[in-house]
């Protein structure tokens, strides 16, 4: 997540590639650890990428459900459709 964009939207910089699970090697693309808010960028939606094929889709569901169990709020976006205003609202940033 670009620091200039975060600055423009008054969003604190997230931790990239944050390993959130105590046992599994799962990582969030971006995480605001204190607020327990994560962003996942879902690439390949239109090119049959990993996130849209059967096994990858099922594994993503397992990961996302585990994150919610651990108290995380998860936002998912396509690379070109990140909603920074939504991130700001979820983080509770004025």
Instruction: Just give the CATH number of 3-91.
Output: 3.40.960
Percent share of the chain, pLDDT over 90:
78
What pLDDT is stored for residue 55 in this prediction?
A: 76
SS3 70: coil
Local structure of 45: helix, strand or coil = coil
Mean pLDDT score, 65-70: 97
pLDDT at 76 over 70: yes
pLDDT the model gives residue 56: 77
pLDDT in tens, 28-62: 999 999 999 999 998 765 566 555 556 778 999 99
DSSP code of residue 24:
S
SS3 74: strand
The SS3 assignment for 69 reads: helix
pLDDT above 90 (res 68): yes
Is pLDDT above 90 for 67? Answer: yes
pTM for the model: 0.85
């Amino acid at each position: 997540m670009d620091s200039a964009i975060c600055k423009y939207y008054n969003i604190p910089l997230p931790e990239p590639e944050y390993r959130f699970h105590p046992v599994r090697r799962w990582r969030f693309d971006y995480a605001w650890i204190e607020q327990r808010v994560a962003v996942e960028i879902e690439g390949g939606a239109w090119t049959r990428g990993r996130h849209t094929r059967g096994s990858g889709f099922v594994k993503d569901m397992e990961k996302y459900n585990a994150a919610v169990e651990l108290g995380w709020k998860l936002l998912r976006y396509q690379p070109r459709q990140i909603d920074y205003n939504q991130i700001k609202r979820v983080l509770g940033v004025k």
